[in-house]
Amino acid sequence: MVTSNSTSLPEVVGNAALMVDPESPRAIAQAVKRMMEKPTLRNQYIRRGLKRAGQFSWDKTARLTLKVYESLEL
């Protein structure tokens, strides 16, 4: 995976993507080329991405949101 190194994306992807300057076509192209030419690297990032995606779920979001609501003093 290749993603931007700005906004919230680094926080979301963790170590599961090559991060590049989104305003640099050259950096984007180089990262995509690396992924295309290096199957071992690509597979490493696929595994990391699947592991990272497993950390996000609607169930977890609902539980954390409920916890915040329950902590509010109304």
Distance in angstroms (rounded) separating the CA atoms of residues 2 and 38: 13
* Domain residue ranges in the chain: 2-71
Distance in angstroms (rounded) separating the CA atoms of residues 33 and 42: 11
Q: Please state at what angle helix 25-37 crosses helix 39-53, rounded to 10 degrees.
A: 100
Residue 69 has pLDDT above 90, yes or no: yes
What is the reported pTM? 0.77
Residue 10: pLDDT band by 50, 70, 90 thresholds? Answer: very high
Residue 74: pLDDT band by 50, 70, 90 thresholds? Answer: confident
- Residue 37 is predicted with a pLDDT of 98
Tens-digit pLDDT profile for residues 22-60:
999 999 999 999 999 999 999 999 999 999 999 999 999
